[in-house]
Amino acid sequence: MQTTADHPPIEVRGLSKTYRLGFWMSRKVQALKSLDLTVTAGQVYGLLGPNGAGKSTTIKVLMNLVRASSGEARLFGLPPDFKEARRHIGFVPENPAPYEYLTGKEFLKLSGQLSGLSGQTLDRRVKEVLQIVGMERAAGLQIRRYSKGMIQRIALAQAIIHKPKLLILDEPTSGLDPVGRRQMRDLILAEREQGTTVLFCTHIIPDVEALCDRVAVLVGGNRVREGSVKDLLTSDAPLFETILEGVALSQIHAWGYQPKYSKEIGERLIVRTSDQEAQSLARKVLGLSGRIIQLQPVRFSLEDLFLQALTEVKESVGTEIT
Amino acid sequence: MIQSFSALALNGFREARRNRITLVIGFFAVAMLACTTLVTEVTIHTFNRVLTDVGLGVMSVMLVLLAIFLSSGLLSREIERRTVFLIVSKPISRGLFLAGRLAGNMLTLTVLLVGMAAVFFFQMSLYRDGITSTQFVAIGVLWFELLLLSSFGFVMSSFSSQIVSAVVTTGMYFAGHLATDVYNISAKSKTEAIRVLGKVTYYLLPNLSRLNYRPQASYAVQVAPNEILSSVAYGTAYAGVLVVVAMLLFSRRDFK
């Protein structure tokens, strides 16, 4: 069966997964609840969520490592258990564990062979990907001698060796130092520039902001937010943060302002209001011989969005079914 | 498909070759085999028989130990260390992965068996009439015993930990060699239920004594080709069923 260009790289409809735990498998934990997701060609799509939100489970279902309890997942129009569906996919799991008795080069060769490469094409691609991930010098070392960052890079190399159309990455930057994270981000960006569709999950928000076109926020197995990063960050009216001195919060309330956020730190007061309110508040404070220490727009970050979503969804991580 | 299969099999062989335990057992086995000549120092006559007996015994024990060690950890170790994630996510079926891993296991055992057989036959060649055709039969059929045992370890390894797999496979090895005794003893019982139980146990357990031609090799007794074929077919069929069971279990397994 052939994959077709008409189908999106990833299509998930009503996907649910319940794990059975314990010796008698009597404990049930619902990791995913009727998830819908579509990743179109060329997108970098981020799955954001706290630990246990269902991000890795979604990826494992897509990579046929875990079977869905209900719903369906499609890769280029094919179910994940079709090996043809995985032919155009590169995958890096969370904490990747390549065979440590192999050298980096041997592991890449094995990965290439399993992905259908052979002969000179395989040898050429091994050299190319080693160069791309900057591992030429360590290629002859056994993987057991690699650092975490080197393992992560060799794992990415095996994922791109067959030039996949879709890259699926589970926490690709987790556990890396800032330099390693930057390198990994650059490698992902380079793949995006070549037109590769990327789905990756993380709980590191700056990575999502730096890399993604579109984001879904998962909490407790539910998708609580979904949209383009730009839309999600500009959907709310912009707020301004004013840092004042010489005015009490009660006075501000007495003037009729209802700040979205306020905090008193010693003599200083921090309030967040709308643009218009901030301007008039500043005038009143100055008129009362108060001081404006700072007045600046509040950038609504993905972190705010993420925390907002978490607050809205009261459910805890991995709902247990009794 | 053939490329993926051979890549997995050769990788399995490479893994075993770089495993210190395999190397230690391999060298120890060859050294022990070489030392069997010393047994002749305490033997007055029948050097050939004693050498065959001890030599084939050493080969069998060492290779069975290695087969249990390698097969019981093959899948469970992959799952525990999560190395399986990077392999089964490739465009290969889980069945092919399993078959490739088993083939790698058997390749390792075959290389060791051939090496040990070479040492054994070199020793036997030092004696007149030392080498007999039954010794070849015993060594050849030992390979099928190792295949059956590895397949059983494989089944266990597809759903349990390495220690559990190793313990159960070892138990199965002894039970398999005692299967005929279980049948004979239970047949003498006056209770019908015990006779039936003995019969059922006999048919369920792999009858490993059918794959043991070491006593015949020791006494240089000729074995009929039909009997050898029947034993080989039995070992292959039993191993085949076990591999299918392992594939069914493994293909349905979630890797959390």
Side chain identity, residue A6 = D
Q: Searching chain A, which residue's CA lies closest to the CA of residue B17?
A: A101
CB contact under 8 A, B14 and A102: yes
Residues 6+ apart with CB under 8 A from A275: A237, A238, A240, A297
d(CA A75, CA B74): 30
Across the interface, whether the CB atoms of B255 and A65 are under 8 A apart is answered yes
Establish if B35 belongs to a structural domain: yes
d(CA B106, CA B154): 12
Residue B256 belongs to a domain: no
Contacts of B91 in chain A (CB under 8 A): 83-84, 86-87, 114-116
In a domain, B189, yes or no: yes
Q: Which residue range is the domain that position B111 belongs to?
A: 2-251
pLDDT for B107 beyond 60: yes
Indicate yes or no: CB of B254 within 8 angstroms of CB of A19.
yes
Q: How many CB pairs under 8 A join A and B?
A: 77
CA B16 to chain A, closest CA, distance in angstroms equals 10
In tens, the pLDDT along A116-155 reads: 999 999 999 999 999 988 888 999 999 999 998 899 999 9
Domains and CATH numbers, chain A: 10-88+164-233 (3.40.50.300), 237-299 (3.30.70.980)
Give me the pLDDT at residue A104, please: 94
- How many helices, marked H, and strands, marked E, lie in chain B? 11, 0
Of A93, A101, A116, the CB nearest to B82: A93
State the Cα–Cα distance between residues A154 and A130, nearest whole angstrom.
Answer: 8
Closest partner residue to B92 (CB to CB) among A83, A93, A101 is A83
Tell whether B20 lies on the interface with A, counting CB pairs under 8 A.
no
Interface confidence, given as ipTM, is: 0.84
Question: By the 8 A CB rule, do A35 and A223 touch?
Answer: yes
Is a pLDDT exceeding 50 seen at residue A316? no
Interchain CB distance below 8 Å, A64 and B88 = yes
Which residue does chain A place closest to B10, by CA atoms?
A110
Are the beta carbons of B107 and A118 closer than 8 angstroms? no
B34 pLDDT more than 90: no
Residue B80 with chain A: CB contacts under 8 Å: none
Nearest to A80 by CA among A59, A63, A60: A63
User: Considering its fold, how many domains does chain B have in total?
Assistant: 1
**pLDDT at residue B6 greater than cutoff 90:** yes
Name A76's Cβ contacts closer than 8 Å, sequence gap at least 6.
Answer: A3, A4, A7, A8, A9, A85, A88, A165, A166
**CB-closest option in B81, B92, B255 to A66:** B255
pLDDT at A177: 79
The 10s digit of each residue's pLDDT in A45-61 is 999 888 888 888 999 99
Report the pLDDT value the prediction gives residue A210, as an integer from 0 to 100. Answer: 80
Comparison of pLDDT for B190 and A104, the residue scoring more = A104
- Average pLDDT across chain B, whole number: 88
Q: What is the 3-state secondary structure (H, E, C) of B3-70?
A: HHHHHHHHHHHHHHHCCHHHHHHHHHHHHHHHHHHHHHHHCCCCHHHHHHHHHHHHHHHHHHHHHHHH
Query: What pLDDT was estimated at residue A322?
Result: 45
How remote is the C-alpha of B148 from its chain's centroid?
Answer: 6
Mean pLDDT of B76-97: 90
Secondary structure letter of residue A144 according to DSSP: G
Is residue B14 in some structural domain? Answer: yes
- Rg of chain B taking only CA atoms, in angstroms: 20
A151: nearest Cα among A128, A187, A180, A179: A180
Residue B221, classified by CB atoms within 10 Å of its CB into exposed (0-12), middle (13-18) or buried (19+), is: exposed
Per-residue pLDDT at B125 exceeds 60 = yes
Rounded distance, CA A302 to CA A48, Å? Answer: 10
Dist CA A13 CA A317 (whole Å): 22
Record: contact B15-A99, CB cut-off 8 A: yes
Helix, strand, or coil (residue B216):
helix
In a domain, B175, yes or no: yes
